[in-house]
Amino acid sequence: MDYENEIIELRKKIEYYSKKYYDEDNSPLSDYDYDMMMNRLKALESEHPELITPDSPTQKVGGHVREDFEKVTHEVPLLSLQDVFSYDDLYDFDKRIRQTGKTDYCVETKIDGLSCALKYENGILVQGATRGDGVVGEDITENVKRIKSIPKKLKEPLNITVRGEVFIGKEEFEKLNEEREVLGQPQFANARNAAAGSLRQLDAKITGQRPLDIYIFNVQQVENKDWNSHYEELNYLKDLGFNVVPFRKLCKNIKEAINAVTEIGENREQLGFGIDGAVIKVDNLALREKLGTTFKVPRWAVAYKYPPEQKETIVKDIICQVGRTGVITPMAILEPVKVAGSTISKTTLHNEDFVKEKDLKIGDHVIIQKQGDVIPEVVKVLTEKRDGSEVTFEMPKECPVCGALAIREEGESAVRCTGIECPAKALRNIVHFASDDGMDIEGLGYKIVEQLLNRNLIKDIADIYDLKLEDISSLKKNGKKFAQNLIDSIEDSKNRDLSNLISAFGIRHVGGKTAKNLAKKYETLDKLMRASVTSLAFSDDIGEIIADSIYTFFREDQTKDLVSRLKKAGVNTKLIKSVELDNRFDGMTFVLTGALSKYTRDQASEIIENYGGKTSGSVSKKTSYVLAGEDAGSKLTKAQTLGVPIISEQEFEEMIKERE
C-alpha cells in the first residue's frame, strides 16, 4: 500500500478542515470524523517516522492568527490536549502518570467553544486573547469586556492569567438561530461556530449582542499564590468571581475518574451547554511540573472523546413541520430508543431529497446515530427487514398548518408554504413587513413582535394596524412614551409608497429594487395583482422564476384577504410620484460595494435612480462607476482589473451636489 500518498492526502484534508474550524469558524465535518482522520495520520506517522515533516498537522497546534487582529504572545502557551477514545487509553494514561508519581485526578466537562486567555493586573482585566496557534493569539480585549460573565474586576488585586472556554448555551443558541432565521440571516451550523465567530468580531458591539458565556478551567500564571491542587485552584477562582467549569470532580484513582467520565456521558443531554468530551487532569500541580509538556500537548492531561452511538428503531410515522421562513421539513416519529444518554423519539429528515436518497418509508427499521450533542440522524435503512407493510412518503402539496399552496422551485431542495397569513410564519412575516426594507415601522423589531404574538395581541400583519396604546405600553415598564412613538410610526407607515408595500410582503425573490420596478410599471397594487405571468416577465430585472413567484403569491386567498384588510386600515396601495430631478446619471450604471457611512444601499440606489441612473449587483465593462465603502470586497477587485472608475462616498456626494 502507498502509505506516503495516503499521508500526503490526509495532511491536505486535515489542513483544509483545520482552517475551516479554527480560522473560519465553519467546519462542515463532524468532530468525530476529524478525530478519526487525525488518528489515522498519527498511526501512519508512528509506523513510518521517516515520513514525519515539521509542517504535519500532528506536529503543531491548530489555528492561525488573523491579520486584522493585533497579535498577542502568550507568556504561558495555550496548549491543546491529547485525545483518547477508549477506557483502555485512560488506563494507559494512568500507567504513564504513576511511573512518575501518585496523584488524584480532576475530571471536567470539555466545553465546545473557543479557548481564550484573560489577563488581570491588580485585579483589573487588561487583556483578552484567543489561543491562536498556542503561542501567538489574537487580541480580543474589547470583545471579552462585552461578555457579562467575565469579571472586569476581581475580589482581590491579583496579577493572574486564566484560561477559559467561551461558548453559547444550548437554549441561547436555538434562540439566536431562530432570530437569524426570522431576520433572513444565515443560520449558524452549531453553537461552537456561533461562539467562535461572535468572539472574533472586529466590531465589539456585535460581540456584545451575542449571548456569549465563559467557563474558566485553568490558571496559566499567578503571582504570590502557591497551590498544591488544581481542584483547590478552581474553587479559589470561583471565590474570586469567575464562572468556573461547573462539572469538576476530584477522583482518587483512574477507576473513579472513568466513572466520572461515564457520568458526564450519561448526563450530557441535561447540560445547558455543548461538550465535545471530558478532560482528565493530574490534580497535583507539583507532579504536573515534573511531567512537563511536549511541543503541542501537556503530559498531565488527556481529553476523552465520546464515540458516536448507533441504535436500531422503527419509523412509526413521518410528519411535516413548517419553519418560520415557510420551509416545510419532514420529521421522522420514532419508536423511542435511548442513544448516547438521551431518549430519542423523533429526528429531522431534512428535505424531500434526503428521504428519497435513503429510500426511507414509514414502518422501516432504521439505524440512528447520535454523537455527543449532535442532533440524532438516520444513517441507514434496514431494507432487508421490510415485510411489505411499509408506506411511501410524499411531501404535501399544501401547507399542513394553513392550507396554502406548498411549492418546490426548480434547483432547490426545500418545499415552501406560500401563505402570507400562515401562523407558523407569523413572526418572520411581521418582522419583515415592519423592517427598513418594508414599511419601516420604527420600534417594531423582533423582540417586540415576539412579545405581541406571545400575548395574543396580534396574529398576523394586518393586526398591526389594530394595536392600541395600552396594548403596547404593557410590554415595557413605564412604556407609555415607547407605545406612543410606535403608534405614531405605525400610523406613518400607512403613507409609504407602493414599492415599500410590495417589498414588505416578502414575496420570494422580490427585493427592494424589483419592488420599485413593479411599482413604477403597475402604479397600483390592484393592477399588479391582476398582472399575468407574461406581463410580469417583461418587467425590468424579472425572469420567469420571479414572475411565477409573484403571480402565485397574488393568487393565494390569504394574500387577497391581507390586502383587503390593509386597505380597510388605510394603508396606501398606489405609487407616490417622486420629485423629478435632473437626469445627470442617465445611461449610467452604478455598482455599490462595501459599507457606506451616510447612506444605506437602498438610499444610495434611490438617489442614483432619481437622477436617471441604474444600479447593478455585478461589475462588468459596461459599469459606469463602482461606489466603494469600507471593507469593499471582490467587486472592488474586479473593477480595478477591468479599469472601471471607482468613487468614494465623498466623491459620490460631490457628484450629487453638482448643479444643485
**Amino acid found at 278:** A
The grid cell for 134 is: 498556542
pLDDT digits (tens, 9 = 90+) for 64-79: 555 678 899 999 999 9
Cα separation, 548 vs 528, in Å, equals: 13
Cα separation, 635 vs 633, in Å, equals: 6
pLDDT digits (tens, 9 = 90+) for 188-224: 888 888 998 899 888 888 898 999 999 999 999 999 9
Cα separation, 600 vs 406, in Å, equals: 34
Cα separation, 306 vs 280, in Å, equals: 13
Q: Are 103 and 118 in contact (CB under 8 A)?
A: no
Its pTM surpasses 0.75: no
Catalytic amino acids? 110
For 384-445, where are the alpha helices, taking DSSP H only?
426-434
pLDDT number for residue 169: 94
Q: In a 10 Å sphere around its CB, with 0-12 CB exposed, 13-18 middle and 19+ buried, how is residue 324 labelled?
A: middle
**Amino acid found at 100:** T
Query: Minimal CA–CA distance to 77: which of 288, 234, 296?
Result: 296
Q: Count of residues for the chain?
A: 660
Cα 230 to its chain centre, rounded Å, is 35
For 215-341, where are the alpha helices, taking DSSP H only?
230-240, 254-267, 285-291
The grid cell for 201 is: 468580531
The grid cell for 84 is: 483518547
The grid cell for 215 is: 467557563
Which domains occur in the chain, in start order? Answer: 3-59 (1.10.287.610), 71-304 (3.30.470.30), 309-392 (2.40.50.140), 419-569 (1.10.150.20), 589-657 (3.40.50.10190)
CA distances in angstroms from 202 to 3, 142, 176, 188, 400, listed in the order given: 43, 9, 20, 18, 43
Torsion of CA 92, 95, 97, 103, to 10 degrees: 120
Cα separation, 46 vs 56, in Å, equals: 13
pLDDT along the chain (660 residues), means of 10: 74 73 60 72 75 73 64 94 94 96 96 95 96 92 94 95 96 90 82 89 87 96 93 96 96 97 89 93 96 91 89 95 92 90 87 94 94 77 95 95 92 92 94 92 93 94 95 85 93 95 93 89 95 88 89 95 96 82 86 84 83 86 90 85 91 77
**Amino acid found at 534:** T
Q: Contacts for 652-656 with beta carbons within 8 Å, 24 or more apart?
A: 652/604, 652/627, 653/598, 655/584, 656/607, 656/611
For 284-344, where are the alpha helices, taking DSSP H only?
285-291
pLDDT number for residue 228: 93
Strand partners, 303: 83, 279
Q: Are 619 and 635 in contact (CB under 8 A)?
A: yes
Average pLDDT, the chain: 89
Half-sphere exposure at residue 434, Cβ-oriented, CA atoms within 13 angstroms: 29
Cα separation, 506 vs 83, in Å, equals: 48
Query: Minimal CA–CA distance to 55: which of 87, 11, 104, 111?
Result: 11
Query: Minimal CA–CA distance to 146: which of 200, 207, 195, 196?
Result: 207
